[in-house]
Chains A and B, each alone.
Chain A
Amino acid sequence: QVQLQESGPGLVKPSGTLSLTCTVSGDSISSSHWWGWIRQPPGKGLEWVGYIHYSGSTYYNPSLMSRVTMSIDTSKNQFSLRVTSVSALDTAVYYCARNYGGNSYYDFWGQGTLVTVSS
């Protein structure tokens, strides 16, 4: 069974950088799948952030592209998210998930981690 687990600080200061890591078990991050981040502000809907392939290819939400970077560490079977210049609007539950084969559906999700942007 594929499992994903998000980790990282739960509190980030405004104008700072949000950094999260997703650890994958039960599947190789070097497989044909893509690995993505989805976020959900409190009481609101899901927002696609982006996804990454082990080759290094990435696609990001155009509205976040200037502030988002994703990376992958095949030796640790992990992938990461960085969002710079954060504001209160970036406060959300952040989910990592596996995108089956790319341009497709998310079949396995992490439990999500709440990141609050506040001073």
Chain B
Amino acid sequence: QSALTQPPSVSGSPGQSVTISCIGSSSDVGNYNRVSWYQQPPGTAPKLMIYDVSYRPSGVPDRFSGSKSGNTASLTISGLQAEDEADYYCSSYTSSSTMMFGGGTKLTVL
């Protein structure tokens, strides 16, 4: 199974909004609302930020939002803050009953 496709890097200035895309196929993202997003600062374990496409776990700021259209899921971070700088990964359930991750996107806050 190939990884979900994410842009290697995105950047934005404090206060701006950025969107990270996650492109899959009809065998994963397009057919299941089981897309999640994880934030990983350097040297730390991933942290769940969005689950089931658009739901936020308790404690995650509402600046983080998720959506999906067809085979593409997206994570939007509005009101960018310096503390948001990290690697971000999407994940999806697949038709083979497995899970898969995207290649990761490095977010730089300018």
Q: How large is the interface on A (under 10, 10 to 19, 20 to 34, 35 or more residues)?
A: 20 to 34
Residues 83-97 (chain B) with a chain A CB within 8 angstroms: 87, 89, 91, 93, 96-97
Q: Does B1 contact A (CB under 8 A)?
A: yes
The answer to whether A107 and B48 touch across the interface, beta carbons within 8 angstroms, is yes
Interface residues on chain B, number (Cβ under 8 Å): 27
- For A47, A50, A103, A111, the residue with the greatest tally of chain B CB atoms inside 10 Å of its CB is A103
Q: Does A119 contact B (CB under 8 A)?
A: no
The answer to whether B34 and A46 touch across the interface, beta carbons within 8 angstroms, is no
**Which residue of B47, B57, B104 contacts A46 across the interface (Cβ within 8 Å)?**
B104
The answer to whether A63 and B97 touch across the interface, beta carbons within 8 angstroms, is no
The answer to whether A106 and B46 touch across the interface, beta carbons within 8 angstroms, is yes
The answer to whether B98 and A62 touch across the interface, beta carbons within 8 angstroms, is yes
Q: Does B102 contact A (CB under 8 A)?
A: yes
The answer to whether A95 and B1 touch across the interface, beta carbons within 8 angstroms, is no
A106 with B48: in contact, given A45-B3, A46-B89, A62-B1 (CB under 8 Å)? yes
**Which residue of B52, B98, B100, B104 contacts A105 across the interface (Cβ within 8 Å)?**
B52
Beta-carbon nearest neighbor of A49 in chain B: B99
The answer to whether A45 and B98 touch across the interface, beta carbons within 8 angstroms, is no
Fill in one digit per residue for A13-48: 1 if any B CB lies within 8 Å of its CB, else 0: 000000000000000000000001010000001111
The answer to whether A45 and B46 touch across the interface, beta carbons within 8 angstroms, is no
B-chain residues with CB within 8 Å of residue A46 when the two chains form the complex:
38, 40, 46, 89, 91, 101, 104
- For A45, A61, A107, A110, the residue with the greatest tally of chain B CB atoms inside 10 Å of its CB is A45
Beta-carbon nearest neighbor of B40 in chain A: A46
- For B36, B45, B46, B97, the residue with the greatest tally of chain A CB atoms inside 10 Å of its CB is B45
4 closest A-B pairs by CB: A105-B36, A105-B51, A45-B104, A109-B45
Supply 7 A–B pairs (Cβ within 8 Å), ascending by A. Answer: A46-B91, A48-B101, A103-B97, A103-B99, A104-B93, A105-B48, A106-B36
Interface residues of A (CB under 8 A from B): 36, 38, 45-48, 50-51, 59-63, 95, 99-100, 103-107, 109-112
